[in-house]
């Protein structure tokens, strides 16, 4: 385990409310929840100094490593990494999660168990690292538009040629006519080329939220167009306007 030094950092995933700083000695100044015993112990020890803090960091790293190892194993089959490389990824994720936790400890407000809050960093690090690995596959590409794959994505049988052609034709037309270039690019990557969203985040330098929002708007537009063209039935609940608390962006 490398030595951990706190670094200032802004993070959107702190908790339900804003941050509140712990005093240097690690007292519970920002805590709003009623702490369970284990959480209180973590806060005392991580907020302390010297060997007590070092020992707590070492124990926390062990727990994080257990989580990242379990997580890469749980996702087996959905990523191509195996063997020592997979364990190396779990180690990197645990190391980086610990750095992030130390940097953001003052933002922990005791609204959940400390370990649940800390484990979130470990799980998110695994996602991020697996997303980056996608592009190391020799077949990974977003440059080829293969519409033939679309019916498979929605469970159309390979021998149902009529439905396959019908579905490709309808979706391809509304994608071309209704979506902005950016929405079209994201739709093609995620839906037609089956690129994982986190891999697209890694490739484009965007965020998961921004890409999800782009896709959310695209889904709404496409459904409305397919309803208008008689391919899908209308529904007052499906495809309703709103959601995400944001206006549509081009």
Partner 1 sequence: MSGWAELDEFLSTDPRDVGCDEALRLLHLYVDLLVEDKSGDAATRRYAGIAAHLRACGPCREDFEGLLHAATERRNETDQDERS
Contact residues for partner 1 (CB under 8 A)? 12-16, 38, 63, 67, 70-71, 74-75, 78, 111-113, 115-117, 119-120, 122-124, 126-127, 151, 154-157, 160, 163, 167, 171, 196-198, 207-209, 212-213, 216, 219-220, 222-223, 226, 231-233, 235, 238-246
Closer of 99 and 171 to partner 1 (Cβ): 171
Gap between the Cα atoms of 198 and 203, Å rounded: 9
Contact yes or no for 68/126 (Cβ under 8 A): yes
Smaller CB separation from partner 1, 5 or 11: 11
Provide the total of helices (H) and of strands (E) in the chain, helices listed first.
Answer: 9, 0
CB atoms within 10 A of CB 228: 12
Query: Which two tokens mark 96?
Result: 């980086």
Cβ proximity to partner 1: between 50 and 242 the closer is: 242
For residues 47 and 114, which CB has a smaller minimum distance to partner 1 in the complex? 114
Indicate the DSSP class of residue 107: G
What is the torsion angle, in degrees rounded to the nearest 10, for the CA atoms of residue 58, residue 64, residue 67 and residue 68? -110
Dist CA 176 CA 179 (whole Å): 6
Min separation Cβ 203 and partner 1, Å? 14
CB of 44 to partner 1, least distance (A): 16
Of 47 and 151, CB closest to partner 1: 151
- Least separation in angstroms between residue 49's CB and partner 1 is 26
- Burial tier of 151 (Cβ tally within 10 Å: 0-12, 13-18, 19+): buried
């Amino acid at each position: 385990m490398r030595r951990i030094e706190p670094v200032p950092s802004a993070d959107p995933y702190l908790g339900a409310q804003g941050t509140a700083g712990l005093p240097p000695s690690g007292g519970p100044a920002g805590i709003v929840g009623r702490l369970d015993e284990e959480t209180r112990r973590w806060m005392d020890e991580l907020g302390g100094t010297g060997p007590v803090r070092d020992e707590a960091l070492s124990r926390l790293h062990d727990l994080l490593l257990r989580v990242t190892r379990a997580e890469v194993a749980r996702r087996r089959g959905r990523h191509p990494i195996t063997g020592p490389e997979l364990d190396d990824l779990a180690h990197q994720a645990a190391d980086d999660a610990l750095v992030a936790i130390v940097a953001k400890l003052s933002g922990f407000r005791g609204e959940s168990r400390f370990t649940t809050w800390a484990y979130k960093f470990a799980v998110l690090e695994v996602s991020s690292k697996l997303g980056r690995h996608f592009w190391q596959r020799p077949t990974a590409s977003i440059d080829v538009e293969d519409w033939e794959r679309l019916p498979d994505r929605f469970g159309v049988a390979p021998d149902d040629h009529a439905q396959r052609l019908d579905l490709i034709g309808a979706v391809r037309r509304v994608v071309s006519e209704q979506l902005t270039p950016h929405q079209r690019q994201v739709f093609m990557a995620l839906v037609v080329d089956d690129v994982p969203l986190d891999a697209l985040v890694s490739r484009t330098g965007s965020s998961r939220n921004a890409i999800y929002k782009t896709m959310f708007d695209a889904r709404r537009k496409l459904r409305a167009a397919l309803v208008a063209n008689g391919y899908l039935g209308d529904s007052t609940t499906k495809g309703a306007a709103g959601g995400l608390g944001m206006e549509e962006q081009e």
